[in-house]
Amino acid sequence: MPQTPPVKPYAQLRAETAGRDRSLHDKVVTLDAAAALIRDGEHVAIGGCMMSRTPSALIWALVRARRRNLTFSRSIVSSDGDIVFASGIAKKVITSWFSQGIVWGISRVMRAWTESGRAEFEEWSHMSMGLRYRAGAMGLPFMPTRSMMGSDVGRLRAGTTKDFVCPFTGEKLLLLPALNPDVAIIHVQRCDQFGNPQIDGLPFMDHDLALAAKRVILTTERIVSNDQIRRQPDQTAFPFFTVEAVAEVPYGSAPHECYGLYEPFFKHMDLFAEMTRADVEKGVEDYLKRFYFEPKSWTEYLDRLGLNDLLVATRAGRSIYDD
């Protein structure tokens, strides 16, 4: 299989940025319209990390729209990785760690899809993922690192990294290729109509993703006024002019967590693990049907998760602000 996306020439990177409407303008769209902005074959970087601030609703919409041949990249993937493989929207995920979560053991879906060769999990170290996005965000073609050398993680990626001797110190370094995704999809707690995103809690790699990507599509728990953003500009996570569209989707990270609002829906995560345990192919197909294809709307999806689980997750989520 072809290795990681090639580094974009600087002229192309600049041309893509130059083509963007940088004005403060209304970017509010529906969830389906947001998903329609992502095209078959694109490289989509997923914001958040593992079970946190996953843009679950947007991935849900991409699955329902039956996108094809997407490549996803993310710091760490959880059940979102299983979903993009099993639904057939992606053949490749570039990440550092891939399983639902340690307490559920190794992901059955990830195993079934990668071991059969239907899909590829391209592995990089966690810091390397971060430095690749950061190089992309800085408009540089690579980033030197002191990690990943000597290991087989490094050896497997040798076709796309470069051994390098520092011209100042003579030390051995590794050059990591910049990662400039076609689209970054990021879920935030609040955002205004112009795409000023505000994030509470863990920032993960989202700032670098937004700057590295050609386009950024946001989902937000709620849309707030521009005046409200301007009262706390220190909370704005990345520049509005990187953002192409924003959709308001309450509980848009469910069944994963959104800091301060809800924790992961643990019973639902147990259910997913349970359904994929015995017969993974049949189990994940049933899961997709029940939670991805049958519900007519995101509200109906949340309905299927259930009010009880939603309230348990919400109570735990809000408790982070308790003493």
Partner 1 sequence: MTSLLQRNYTSSELLAVMASRTLADGQTVFAGVGIPLLAATLAQRLHAPGITLLFEGGVLGPFIVPGELPPSTNEQRCTRRANMILPITDVLLLLQRGYVDIGFLGGAQIDRYGNINTSFIGDPAKPKTRLPGTGGGNDIASLAKIVVAMKHEKRRFVEKVDFITSPGFLSGGDSRARAGLPTGGMHKIVTDLAILGVDPASKKLRVEALHPGVAADQVRANTGFSIDFAPNATVTDLPTGRELEVLRQLDPAQLYTA
- Give residues in contact with partner 1 (CB under 8 A): 49-52, 75-76, 95-99, 101-103, 106-107, 110-111, 114-115, 121, 123-128, 130-131, 133-134, 145-153, 156, 171-174, 201-205, 207-208, 257, 259-260, 263-264, 266, 317, 320
Q: Smallest gap, in angstroms, from Cβ of residue 48 to partner 1?
A: 8
Least distance (Å) from partner 1 to the CB of residue 315? 13
> For residues 24 and 158, which CB has a smaller minimum distance to partner 1 in the complex?
158
Q: Which is nearer to partner 1, 35 or 205 (CB)?
A: 205
Buried b (16+ CB within 10 A) or exposed e, 287-303: bbeebbeebeebeebbe
Nearest distance from residue 221's CB to partner 1, in Å?
A: 14
Taking the CA atoms of residue 51, residue 57, residue 58 and residue 61 in that order, the dihedral angle to the nearest 10 degrees is 130
Largest CA distance in the chain: 61
Would you give the DSSP letter of residue 321? G
Query: Closest by alpha carbon to 42, among 3, 1, 109, 89?
Result: 89
Residue 65 or 173: the one with the smaller Cβ distance to partner 1 is: 173
Nearer to partner 1 by Cβ, of 61 and 188: the residue is 188
Comparison of 245 and 257: residue with beta carbon closer to partner 1: 257
Q: What single-letter DSSP state applies at residue 8?
A: P
The distance of closest approach from Cβ of residue 63 to partner 1 in the complex, given in angstroms and rounded to an integer, is 22
10 Å CB burial of residue 307 (0-12, 13-18, 19+) is exposed
CB of 104 to partner 1, least distance (A): 9
Q: 283: closest CA among 292, 291, 274?
A: 274
